[in-house]
Each structure stands twice: as C-alpha cells, then as structure tokens.
Homo-oligomer: A and B are copies of this chain.
Amino acid sequence: MRRINLFTIMMLMASMAMAQKFLTLEDVMSGGNNWYNLQPENRFTAWWGNVPVETTADEVKTLLDGKTLFTIEQLNETVGEKIAHSGHNVVFPYGGKTIVQVRGNGQRVQIDWKKGAVVWRQSIPEGAEHQDFNLTSKHLAYTLDGNLYVKTADGEELQISTDGSTDGSNDIVYGQSVHRDEFGISKGTFWSPDGKQLAFYRMDQSMVMGYPQVDITTRIASVKMDKYPMAGETSHQVKVGIFDVEKRTTVWLNLIGEPDDYHTNLTWAPDGKRLYVFELNRAQNDLRLIAYNTTTGKLEACLYQECSDKYVEPMHGLDFLPWDNTKAIMQSQRDGYNHLYLLDVNTGSLEQITYGDFVVQEVVGFNTKAKCVLYLSNAMEPRTSCLFSRNLVKPRCTLIGAGEGVHSASLSEDGQQVIDRYSSPTVPRSINLYDTKDGKGKNILTAKDPWADQGYAIPEITSGSIKAADGKTDLYYRMVKPVGFDPTKKYPTVVYVYGGPHAHNVDARWHWCLRGWEAYMATKGYLLFILDNRGSEWRGRDFEQVTFHHLGEVEMEDQMEGVKFLKSLPYVDADRMGVHGWSYGGYMTTNLMCSYPDVFKVGVAGGPVIDWKYYEVMYGERYMGTPEQNPEGYARCSLLGKAKNLKGRLQIIFGYNDPICVPQHTLSFVRVCEDAGAQLDLFTYPGDGHNMFGRDQIHLHERITRYFEDFLAK
C-alpha cells in the first residue's frame, strides 16, 4: 500500500514537473532565441498627421477601422525596386497628404500611395553618416569622416567644413555629438524649422589624449587612439556654426565663456532668427541660457542663469508653444525637482507651471487647440510615469489615462489625440488612444501575461520601501523570490545594484521593472533584491546630489540598509549573500565586496569604474570635481586602495574595447589586487564595448549565473 502511494506521488510529481516550464536565458534575454516569443503581445502604431495608423511588416492601415492605406509590395511596385522592407519604418512627412517617405537601397523616396506615384527621390551619398534630413526643405545634412556636408533638395552636394579630420585621428569633428553625449546631447546637426539653416557642432579634440583601443581581429593586432578626456585633463573645445543653405555662408556663434565650456540643448527659434544655447562652465555650477542672432552669430540676450554650490545639469532644450513664438517651456530642477517653466524669450520672465515633490520626466508635446502641454511625471507615486496635460491658459492639470504604471506617449500632429502605452506590475502592455483634452478614449490592446500564458513558472515579484541610511528617506526595492518559494527555507540572495545618477531600477512597469536574468536566477533558487539608493533618478535634486564629491559612499550606506532588511527576513541566508552590477553598478559591486568583505561572499562586477580619475571630464567632474580640486574625495572613492580588503569571490567582466569605462579601470584594479596578494577573477569580451549584446549577452549571463552557482549556491 505504502509503496503504491509513493509511486503515485512520484508519478504526480513527474507530471507536475512536465507541466511546469522553467525560464532559460534564451527565454528572458533579448539576445535569446525564444525571447521574442515571450514578449507581451503588441501592436505597432504611428501617426499619419492626425490619423492613428497601425504598421505591420507588410502594410500600413488605419488603427481604428483597419483600412489598408498601402502595402509594402505596392510601394515597391510604385518605386520600381525593392526599397521598402516593412511598414514599421516608413515616415509620414506631411499630415493629411497621402505621401509616405521610405529609405532604402541608398535612397530616400517620397511616394503618393493614392496616386501610385513617386513624388520625390534622391540618392544618399555613399558612406554618409549622421544623416539629418529636414522634411520641410528636403535638405540632407550628413558627415563623412570628420567633415560636414549638405545635399540639397535638388541634389546639389555642398561641403560645409574643410578642416575636419580625414586621417582617422578624429582631431577635428563636425556635425557629430559632442561632450561625450552628456547634457542630453545625442547629435551634432540641427535644422532650423524651415530647413534652410543648419546649426552644427565643431569639436576640436586635437589636444585630448587618446586611449589605446586594441583590435585583435586584424592580421596582427592593431590600435586606434580613442580621444578620451580624463577628469582634470585637457578637454575638447566646441564651437557652434550656422550654415545658410541659400547664401552658402557659415556664421559662428560668438560663444561666451572658456573654450572648454559646454554648449548644450541647441534650440531654434520658430522663425529661425535665433538659436538658443544652454551654456555651462566646465565646473558645471554656472548655467546660462543664451540667445544668439543666427545672421550675425552675436549674443542677443542672456535669458536665464542658474548657479549651484554642487552642479546644474541642463538636459533639455526649449519647447516653443506652437501658438506663441515668444514663449517656450523650459525645464529646471532649481526648486529641488525637475519642473516645467514658461519662459518669455523676449523678456526672460519665467513662470513655474508644475509644482510638487515629484519630477517631470518628459515633455511629450502640445495640444495646439486646447493650449495644453502634455508631459510625463511621477506625481502619482515615485515609481510611476504617468501622462498629464497642463492647460496653459487656465492653470489646470489633468491626468490622461491610467494613473499607474510607466507610460510612453505619442501625440497626433495637432496634439488632440495621444497613443498612450504603458505597463504596470500586473499589466504587461496596454495601448490606448485618448483625447488629450478630456482623457476620454478607448483601449487598443491589453496584453495577457505571456509567461503565465505559456505555462512558465513565474517567481513572485514584489516591491516595497525601506528607509535610507538617513533614517527618513523612502527607498524603493524590488524583491524576486525563488520559484517554488518556501518561507521556512533559507535562500542564497543576490543584490543587483546600479546606484548611480540618471538611472533607476525599480518602477511600476510590468513585474516592477524586472530584468530577465533575475527571473532566471529565481528559477535556480536565488532570491534577488534590487534597491534604488539615494543618488539615483526620479527622486529629485537633493536625493541625487547627496553623493556630490564622494561617489559611492551614501549609495553603499543605503544598500547596506537593504542588507539589514534582508537579514531580518527569515528566508534570506545571510551566509550566502552575493552582489552584481554593471558600470556604476560594477563600481558599487566592487566597492561593496571590498568595503563589506564579511557580508558579501560572491560578487560579479561588470565594466566597473575603479578610480574616477580614469573616467571622463563631463560626467566625472560633475560629481567629483577634478582630482586637483577634490584630491581627498578621489582618494576615498578610489577602489585601488581597497583591493587589499577583498576576501570573497569577485569576478570582474569588461568589454575589451570599452570606450566608456575604459579597461584601465579594471586592469589597474587587477594590478593592485596582485600586488596586495588578493585573488579576483576576470573575464573580457574582445571587440565588445561597455555592454554586451546579442549572443554575447547570453554568454555573459550564463557566465554570471555560473559564478554564483559555483561559489554562492552551496
């Protein structure tokens, strides 16, 4: 009898095991071969002027009634060659007109799909990089090597610069992003609204030291010197030029300040007569908004100044009101949180239009008719990002759509409608179409949980808050419990950490912003804990700036509050605690391993900062000043002196060609460990940069997991 019982139970267990699938790295990582199949259902949308459309691989149709506008096949037939490959990457250049713009086969083509006719086409110059096409003028700006060119709508090719580097040295670079993509800068050309003038950056970095990046794929390894201005060292010098396409002339802005100041967030006046530049001194504590005359290049007005005893960080340009060329939305966190201000560009007068202990995360656009600005903020709750409409006539603020989760929004041409997408801890994806005046609308898609739907065992994922080390600030965490959690057992626990500015890890999107690897680790029997310490984003200026001049210290104190909390939980095995993080999180991981050698048994640090003197000027000096100004801070925050404390198992992994946290960080740490007799483990991905993608991402996470399995699991 007993024997039969056992047999029955075993059969039952076997069938249960068969029924339950466990997530693998191939399922949870974007480089994995089953990742796509486990994504929440989606519909791809776009705006054709004020008409919401749905794009598929084969066609574009109206979103609401599903009427086909055109098929890809049809477009290619019209063009006479296979130029379009998918409905997802077509452009509707002119709302209301039945014209679509397609790029392919080295050309840009505008097609009237109703007439079945090509209305404009132009070949793209071979090798053109950093292409910036203006839909109004149809002029194309682009770069080749370090030089800048314009191809006009009628096909004339104009060389704007002639002293850009063509020898690969990158000494002088035109029309590309400057200041190492800090201050919200991501490109180097800026068309005036009418597309007749082109503002552009010129960066002279001939005086900047190069970091040797070794390429092992050549017959004999070769080297490229990558311009990398390290904290306190000579930085590059940036100028702003304006090219007038009709006149064929360039004027240079008469920039004020020092040659190594920052010139950010270039914004054109709607009438093209002015260019607005946010200018910040190298010490990053004195910001000015300057209006330049685009004909003379001369300074017309200093409209705004913001100083700080820590730093000011301009991240956004001006957003002019579509109905009033004299007024623009400006963003500042001068009252302690990033908020919106209405700036009169003639008088410089400023009116704050959002208030409160929350941050505005993004200006989405304007409802031109209702005279509203649409923006995302976490006014509902710190972990959220919800859509609001602020009426600029009557001071009224309206929530549009769900007051939960994390949203992104795309406005129609007139801003009266919005396609709002969000997820919340329990909603994988929701797509809605709203009227931005009253928030009324309809649901387009609510996706089911694809993991549960396909029978995978899903760990329990929760979020909560603890107090920071200051005893008063709320910090939010995510906890991922092992699959098959049993509260009477003790689990090995891994703290995943980032900890630096400009980022957070915990928010109210699906699964509380879970990273796929955490789910995978949960299937292996680990408890994961992720805490956004002070210094991270979405919590306001002071929350972030508390780390000023001593990066890593407050962040670690807060993480140790997380550890204290974990140790209070009966199911956390305090003898088996690990830590993992990348980049700033690699710095935190290494720092925690060396600072709390008796707490963390195993750590995996990726692409870490080791000493801020090896980091670049823009980001590094903002938080740390220069090594000359803040020697004590640099010394305290360097991990080189802490290597000797290392006791646990620490593996550092880095991209062999990391241009951001250059390998000198990791290798210097390796060297001091060796000198101190400390053992650490090391790995690298030749050819990869600061992060790993595709199959390397799978390999990397298999590696990270294996390390915890080797040394923390038992």
Contact = CB atoms under 8 A, between A and B. Distances in A.
21 contacts: A209-B219, A211-B221, A212-B214, A212-B223, A216-B663, A216-B667, A219-B233, A220-B230, A667-B686, A670-B686, A671-B686, A674-B686, A674-B695, A675-B695, A677-B695, A677-B702, A679-B702, A679-B706, A681-B683, A682-B682, A682-B684
A235 to B, nearest CB: 13
A223 B209 CA distance: 12
A223 to B, nearest CB: 4
Please give the count of copies of this chain that the complex contains. 2
A685 interface: yes
A662 B211 CA distance: 20
Contacts of A614: 220
A219 B662 CA distance: 13
A222 interface: yes
Highest count of chain B CB atoms <10 Å: which of A214, A220, A683, A687: A220
A682 B683 contact: yes
A221 B686 contact: no
Interface of A: 209-212, 214, 216-217, 219-223, 225, 228, 230, 233, 614, 656, 662-664, 667-668, 670-671, 674-675, 677, 679, 681-687, 695-696, 698-699, 702-703, 706, 710
A561 B133 CA distance: 69
Given A209-B220, A677-B702, 16 more contacts: A212-B212, A216-B663, A216-B667, A216-B668, A219-B230, A220-B228, A220-B230, A220-B233, A671-B686, A674-B696, A675-B695, A677-B699, A679-B702, A679-B703, A682-B683, A710-B710
A671 B683 contact: no
B667 A656 contact: yes
A695 B223 CA distance: 31
3 tightest Cβ-Cβ pairs between the two chains A and B: A212-B223, A221-B664, A671-B686
A6 B546 CA distance: 63
A147 to B, nearest CB: 27
A221 B674 contact: no
A674 B212 CA distance: 23
Nearest to A703: B679
Contacts of A703: 679
A682 B653 CA distance: 10
A666 B107 CA distance: 43
Nearest to A696: B674
A210 B679 CA distance: 33
Contacts of A668: 216, 686
Contacts of A211: 220-221
A611 B414 CA distance: 63
A674 B685 contact: yes
Given A212-B222, A228-B220, A663-B221, A699 B674 contact: yes
A684 B679 CA distance: 12
A432 to B, nearest CB: 41
Contacts of A674: 685-686, 695-696, 699
Contacts of A667: 216, 221, 656, 684, 686
Contacts of A683: 681-682
B216 A671 contact: yes
A675 to B, nearest CB: 7
Contacts of A228: 220
Contact of A687 (B671, B695, B699, B710): B671
B702 A684 contact: no
A67 to B, nearest CB: 46
A670 to B, nearest CB: 6
A662 B223 contact: no
A209 B221 CA distance: 9
Nearest to A687: B671
A517 to B, nearest CB: 16
A667 B657 CA distance: 12
